[in-house]
Structure 1
Amino acid sequence: MLGTVLALAAAALVAAAVAWFLHTHERVERQVPLPPAGEAVWNPLYALRETLRGDGVEAVTRQRLQPALFASATDDTVLFDTDPARLRAGEVEALLDWVARGGHLLLRTPRQGWFDGEDEADVPPLLHRLGVRELLPPGCVELQVRDEEPHVELCDGWRMRLEGVSPLRAWGDAQDGYAFVRLAHGRGVVDLLADFDFLANSRLDEATHQALARQLLAPRYGRGTVHLVHDARLDSLWWRLVRHGWPLWLPLALLLAGWLWRRAQRFGPWLPSPATARRSLREHVRAGGALLFRHGQAPLLYDAVREAFLARLRRRDPATAALAGEARVQALAERLQLPHYLVREALTRSGVQDRHTYFARVRTLIQMRNRL
């Protein structure tokens, strides 16, 4: 009966806890952004391409320029997100001829490394042909989109100073350099920007970046194919291990640090010194006997063995121990089944200074003691 009551009470307690939890907690779904996978890992313009396709604009991405693919399509747009200094002379001529026939080309300045520390950079041949005289240090420009907070863009690329050309549109100033210019070239246009970082996959979800991208693609938007040429931006294996592999390497690093700490030499013992090696009691007795024997104390050792035998005899056979002289020798010889002369010699102390006599009598005493 008591067990039933306890079971019902426990069930009621669990039901009350579940009801309280459901009443005080609400199930909420939360979206957690996952790291990029597949093509998005190495294609920085993947999100832009998919956005254009979703808007009905034909868009393709590749890692090589391949001018033959758009040479006859004057309504196409080419966004070249690669260092323009890598273009060969034939590719430069093909690009300029295509733009002169009506194409729309978007270029960026050479990418600046984190540790360049230079105030100027060499002007690539293509930019020089378009009227860029020199490249100046980077500087941000302000961008204001309706209903959005003030923004700055184009902070990481070189600014451009022009010579002999008048831009259709410009962003910046002639003294400190332009972060963006739109130049007319024949029947087409060329847009020069400090960088294309705002078009990257991780940044295109911002409204300001979407608005800026739409304005840049406006001249030929929806009229032809958009060719997105990019570098393969794969993070190094070490950087990916540091960034995504910390659940593995951090515990291993802690284990290694702990092992090194245990093995490291310390300044003084933290634990008691280990006990020195000790000899067993048998070794001590053996060493003491050897020392006495070397110093001529064989009779003393014989007395100890004889006394040990007699002590056992008194415990095991008091009647025989009470005898004396030849009677005890006779009784022991019969009891132990040993010759009379051997028992008599073993119980005689005289002559044990001799080495051979000592060992013979001690051996016999031990044999007699073991037979009791």
Structure 2
Amino acid sequence: MSRWRTPALVVLALACLGLLAGWWHRTYERVTETKVLPPAGEAAYNPLYALKLALRADGLEVESRQRLDFARALPGRRDTVLLLGDPRTLTARDIDGLLAWVEAGGHLLVTTPRGQRVDAMRPGDLLARLEVSLRPGRGECEELLVPGQERHVEFCGGTRFAPQSNPVLSWGDFNAGFVFVRLARGDGVVDVLASADFIDNRNLRETPHLALARQLLAPNYGHGRMHLVYAADMPPLWRLLLDRAWMAWLPLLLALLAWLWMRLQRVGPAMPPPPQERRSLLEHIQASGEHLRRHGLTALLHAAMRENFLARLRRRDPLAAALGGVAQAEAIAARTGLPAPEIEHALRSPRPRDAGDFRLRVARLVEMRKRL
């Protein structure tokens, strides 16, 4: 019977596995889930990264960098330069180079600055050289209509402006301010925009924004290289550490707090200052006498006081010191003026454990010593 037990268990286990596999195959459902991941790499700090990929997919040569540098990359005669950022940060040398390149046939797109004090332009700034004056404050949004698409509004948060010369193309009016103008300069053109939010990575995916970007890049589209110059939108280091490195710094922070807690001095009631060493002989004698009194050895203290009195009596009255008993008490009474019974009582040892009797006898001995 036992030889059939092992095969039966094996068959039972195989049957259970088969049932489990069949249940899994019958109830399992494969589901596809799409999650949008945060941008990484260049897409995390370059707001024109999507435009760069779109232009390259259309067969154009595109260069993307954080700052304008004519020494490293000089634009060609039919190239296009898109400046995304505050044009007031350009140096006078870069402005001269840009305007000379535009007059030779280049296409420049520049945006107006945002934020506080937008009207604080210096005479040598790029917009001042283009004869464009800024309008402080925010105007109304401009409606953008593209056939087959939903209604859009653009330039809601941009800084409007007004050109001093007649533009080739414009969007807006002199009362509310313009959001776009195309100015002719030599053989080239300059486009001034109130905002370029519609071409950043988040908004370029919408069809109306693609159509608007294609129209803005039309003057030299397909004739030269595209230079996309952006101000790096890199988040600060503390934000990166807070968002992406918390699994490293959080345990380290907890360990640091635990170490500080271990090293921290405990807070409690104020401790008394440590006793200072004393070298006073009188204090030591007093402490010794208190010790003998607490232990019931007052007879030793009385004997020492009586011996001190008798030593002084021998110096002052040797005859009285040589006597004893009642005769000595009477002789001392005659010299000190104190009653003889009290003197006799003071010279005898005190009763054990009687603090009052001890103090009385010692006080009488002190008074007797003073009257000798």
Residue 10, structure 1, aligned to residue 43, structure 2? no
Amino acid corresponding to residue 103 of structure 1 in structure 2: G
After TM superposition, the structure 1 stretch with the greater mean CA deviation from structure 2, 219-228 or 82-91, is 82-91
Q: Alpha-carbon deviation of 1:119? A: 7.4
Amino acid corresponding to residue 80 of structure 2 in structure 1: T
Runs (5+) with no aligned partner, structure 1 = 264-293, 296-372
Q: Alpha-carbon deviation of 1:230? A: 2.0
Q: Alpha-carbon deviation of 1:28? A: 2.0
Structure 1 pair 50–174 and aligned structure 2 pair: CA distance change class (3 A): same
Q: Alpha-carbon deviation of 1:219? A: 0.7
Residue 205, structure 1, aligned to residue 205, structure 2? yes
Question: In 2, Cα distance between the equivalents of 1:87 and 1:9?
Answer: 79
Look up the match of 1:99.
102
Look up the match of 1:142.
143
Structure 1 pair 103–245 and aligned structure 2 pair: CA distance change class (3 A): same
Match of 1:84 among 84, 87, 92: 87
Q: Alpha-carbon deviation of 1:247? A: 5.4
Contact 1:121 1:136 in 2 (8 A): no
- Tell me the secondary structure at the aligned position of residue 223 of structure 1: coil
Look up the match of 1:172.
172
**How many residue pairs were aligned?**
259
Look up the match of 1:191.
191
Look up the match of 2:46.
43
Look up the match of 1:155.
156
Contact 1:122 1:135 in 2 (8 A): no
Question: In 2, Cα distance between the equivalents of 1:153 and 1:252?
Answer: 47
Amino acid corresponding to residue 121 of structure 2 in structure 1: D
Structure 1 pair 120–257 and aligned structure 2 pair: CA distance change class (3 A): farther
Amino acid corresponding to residue 87 of structure 2 in structure 1: P
Look up the match of 2:228.
228
Residue 57, structure 1, aligned to residue 56, structure 2? no
Structure 1 pair 259–10 and aligned structure 2 pair: CA distance change class (3 A): farther
Structure 1 pair 17–249 and aligned structure 2 pair: CA distance change class (3 A): farther
Q: Alpha-carbon deviation of 1:46? A: 2.7
Look up the match of 1:298.
none
Contact 2:88 2:121 in 1 (8 A): no
Contact 2:60 2:222 in 1 (8 A): yes
Amino acid corresponding to residue 212 of structure 2 in structure 1: L
After TM superposition, the structure 1 stretch with the greater mean CA deviation from structure 2, 242-251 or 78-87, is 242-251
Contact 1:76 1:220 in 2 (8 A): yes
> Which residues of 2 match residues 1-372 of structure 1 at below 5 A?
3=9, 7=13, 10-22=16-28, 25-28=29-32, 30=34, 32-37=36-41, 39-67=42-70, 69-70=73-74, 73-112=76-115, 116=116, 120-122=119-121, 125-139=125-139, 140-162=141-163, 164-246=164-246
Of the two, which has the highest radius of gyration?
2
Amino acid corresponding to residue 16 of structure 2 in structure 1: A
Structure 1 pair 253–135 and aligned structure 2 pair: CA distance change class (3 A): farther
Q: Could you tell me the TM-score, scaled by structure 1's length?
A: 0.59
Contact 1:101 1:187 in 2 (8 A): yes
Contact 2:118 2:134 in 1 (8 A): no
Structure 1 pair 59–5 and aligned structure 2 pair: CA distance change class (3 A): closer
Look up the match of 1:351.
none
Contact 1:136 1:176 in 2 (8 A): no
Question: In 2, Cα distance between the equivalents of 1:157 and 1:212?
Answer: 16
Q: Deviations over 1:272-293 (max 9, x none)?
A: xxxxxxxxxxxxxxxxxxxxxx
Q: Alpha-carbon deviation of 1:255? A: 9.9
Question: In 2, Cα distance between the equivalents of 1:34 and 1:89?
Answer: 38
Q: Alpha-carbon deviation of 1:9? A: 5.5
State percent identity of aligned pairs: 46
Q: Alpha-carbon deviation of 1:4? A: 5.7
Look up the match of 1:303.
none
Q: Alpha-carbon deviation of 1:120? A: 4.5
Structure 1 pair 207–98 and aligned structure 2 pair: CA distance change class (3 A): same
Q: Could you tell me the TM-score, scaled by structure 2's length?
A: 0.59
Q: Deviations over 1:233-279 (max 9, x none)?
A: 2211111223334556678889999999xx9xxxxxxxxxxxxxxxx
